[in-house]
Amino acid sequence: MARVASEINLLELDEEELKRRLKNGEIVVSIYGLGRVGIPLACAWLRAGARVIGVDINEDKVKMLNRGECPIDEPRVPEVIKEYVSKGLFIATTDGVSASRNSNIKIITVSTTLKRGLEAIEFNLTPLRKALNTISSGLKIGDMIIIEASVPPGTTEKVARPILEGSSGLIVERDFGLAYSPERIAEGRALYDIEEAYPKIVSGIGPKSTKVVKALYSVISKKGVIVMSSTTAAEFEKLAEGIYRDVNIALANELAKLAHALALDFTEIRKATNSQPYCNLHLPGAGVGGACLPIYPYFMERVAKEQGIHLELTMTARRINEEMPKYVSNLVMTALERLGTRPSDAKVAILGDSFRGNIADSRLSPTHDLVNELKAKGINKIVVHDPLIREDRELKAPLSNNLSEVIRGSDVIVISTDHDLYKRLTLRKIKEISGKRKIAVIDGRNILRYDDIPINVIYVGIGRPWVIS
């Protein structure tokens, strides 16, 4: 592993000198957690001029990266990894202590999760704590630690700072810097989001830390940097972004249910409503998944409870979104009644395992809950298709990449993910592939047209009326 050419005290440099040293390749960055955030982030720092050490506990992933191969599918990212590995400017390792010792900046992107449930919300900050302890073992005077993982407000100050100071014997702001800067990316456009799409949110524990993180990220982010008043404010901001979307989706889901009950099409209503510039209704759907939106409300609610506050709107919205797979399963049961097919005899095809279209990520996918709901209702012949995901240990049903095989012989076809592949389907084509005399299609993402429905097809969407030919 390449060592830092010279010791640099980042806290003592002014902003222009920090920028110069980054652009000239004098700064080494270690990134802890080489996932969907860590790898694109490594690419952004490389393109800004840094040398980068990637750290991950997965040996296979480390070996793959050191061959110049990329384990995630993101635009431009594989090319960047290959280029900078060949130049000797990027290396991956499982040795986090050595990476800390040989870098000036340490960035933490490991995942943070929780056990859901309003009565007992338990944060799982174990990966973060492990990364902090590892970094502490190699921490030097003048170094900088930046946390980019989504965490409950107060984590940088109350969790990270004590671990780093206690383990290293060094003092924050005097000997090393500590900052929080949340990632703001969407899968499928991660590198673009880091470099071009949004301003970078930053905040340091104190003025020295803030100066360093502000200066360095101003080189990376073309939209500039927004400096928050405290790390807790920056942590709060990140969660607020996600909660806004979760609440908006819940509103769309609730209104869509009423539109369906009134035999209206919420798609039409939403389009007209959003022509008003102060309205931005989101899309309804079969559920909200991913490692962010389903988690953030619980992070915030736990912190709120410590202050004697209950986030009623936030948690009501979360409950509405969590119940959408059950709502879809009820539509399946109604469809089977109209088909005259018993649940025990029915085959149900679910199209989409990823939580969002055109990405290979099934973390907290609504499809998982939908499968469980259908099984609880006595439907045992369930097959799931996804064009991008090859394996999913959390999915309690067979998973296939063969679309025709999954649809063939199915009585009910449920679209759970808005992959582009499914948008090219038609109701006529689905019925043809199924080979059944009569079928039902539950459009959980409202991506199909139903104005020319073929004979012996039953159709319904989220917030759309039943259409029976």
Q: Report if residue 252 sits inside a domain.
A: no
pLDDT category at 113 given cuts 50, 70, 90 is confident
pLDDT band at 3, cuts 50/70/90?
A: very low
The model carries a pTM of 0.92
* Higher-scoring residue by pLDDT: 292, 170: 170
Catalytic residue among 200, 292, 431, 436: 292
The CA distance from 416 to 350, in Å, is 6
Sheet holding 439-443, edge to edge: 399-400, 381-385, 347-351, 412-415, 439-443, 457-461, 467-468
Same domain, 219 and 367: no
Q: Tell me what the mean pLDDT of segment 49-53 comes to.
A: 97
Contacts of 463 (CB under 8 A, 6+ apart): 252, 255, 256, 257, 259, 260, 264, 265, 266, 267, 269, 284, 446
Question: Does 346 share its domain with 221?
Answer: no
326 and 223 belong to one structural domain: no
Structural contact between residues 80 and 47, judged by C-beta atoms closer than 8 angstroms: yes
The span from the CA of 465 to the CA of 443, in Å, is: 11
Residues 166 and 28 grouped into a single domain: yes
In three-state secondary structure terms, 417 is coil
Please determine, for residue 114, whether its predicted confidence score (pLDDT) is greater than 80: no
Does some domain include residue 317? no
pLDDT band at 121; cut points 50, 70, 90: low
Mean pLDDT of 23-37: 96
Question: Is the domain of 181 the same as that of 60?
Answer: yes
- Of the residues 61, 140, 211, 238, which is catalytic? 238
Residue 196 CB partners (closer than 8 Å, separation 6+): 222, 223
CB 34 within 8 A of CB 42: yes
Q: Per mean pLDDT, which range of 53-57, 241-245, 432-436, 452-456 is the poorest? A: 452-456
Give pLDDT tens digits for 187-242: 889 999 999 999 999 999 999 999 999 999 999 999 999 999 999 999 999 999 99
Average of pLDDT values for 11-37? 97
Q: Which of 196, 230, 264 is the last residue of a domain?
A: 230
Give burial (CB, 10 Å; 0-12/13-18/19+) of 421: middle
Which residue, 176, 200, 230, sits at the end of a domain? 230
Tally of CB atoms within 10 A around 231 = 29
Is 243 part of a structural domain of the chain? Answer: no
Q: CB within 8 A of 319, min separation 6: which ones?
A: none
pLDDT at 175: 97
Q: Give 349-390 pLDDT, tens digit per residue.
A: 999 999 999 999 999 999 999 999 999 999 999 999 999 999
Is 43 catalytic? The answer is no
Q: Is 238 designated active site?
A: yes
> Does residue 20 sit in helix, strand or coil?
helix
Q: Indicate whether 303 belongs to any domain.
A: no
- Check whether 465 has a pLDDT greater than 90: yes
Note whether 326 and 218 are same-domain residues.
no
The tokens 């860590």 sit on which residue? 38
Pairwise CA distance, residues 209 & 172, whole Å: 9
The total of structural domains in the chain comes to 2
* Residue 443, CA distances (Å) to 83, 96, 212, 226, 370 in order: 43, 46, 49, 41, 13
What's the pLDDT at 187?
87
- Give domain status of residue 181, yes or no: yes
The last residue of a domain, from among 230, 264, 282: 230
Residues 155 and 18 in one domain: yes
- Both 32 and 175 in one domain: the answer is yes
Kindly state the average pLDDT of the residues 319-343: 97
Inter-axis angle of helices 312-322 and 231-261, to 10 degrees?
50
| Res 310: pLDDT | 96
Residues 217 and 334 in one domain: no
The string of pLDDT tens digits covering residues 379-406 is 999 999 999 999 999 999 999 999 999 9
Q: Determine the average pLDDT of the residues in 58-80.
A: 95
Is 342 among the domain residues? Answer: yes
Per the domain annotation, does 116 fall within a domain? yes
User: What pLDDT shows up at residue 118?
Assistant: 45
Q: Is the predicted pLDDT of residue 314 greater than 90, yes or no?
A: yes
Render pLDDT for 160-200 as a digit per residue (tens, 0 to 9).
999 999 999 999 999 999 999 999 998 889 999 999 999 99
Q: Which domain holds residue 125?
A: 10-230
Distance of CA 185 to the CA centre of its chain: 8
Q: What is the pLDDT of residues 400-426, one digit of tens each?
A: 999 999 999 999 999 999 999 999 999
**Distance from C-alpha of 126 to C-alpha of 134, rounded to nearest angstrom:** 12
Mean pLDDT of the chain: 95
Mean pLDDT over 35-45 rounds to 96
Alpha helices in 34-112 (DSSP H): 38-48, 59-66, 77-86, 96-101
Query: Is the pLDDT assigned to residue 119 strictly greater than 80?
Result: no
Alpha carbon separation from 211 to 10, 95, 373 (Å, rounded): 10, 29, 51
Q: Is residue 295 part of a domain?
A: no
| CATH number of residue 202's parent domain | 3.40.50.720
126 and 18 together in one domain: yes
Q: Are residues 86 and 215 in the same domain?
A: yes
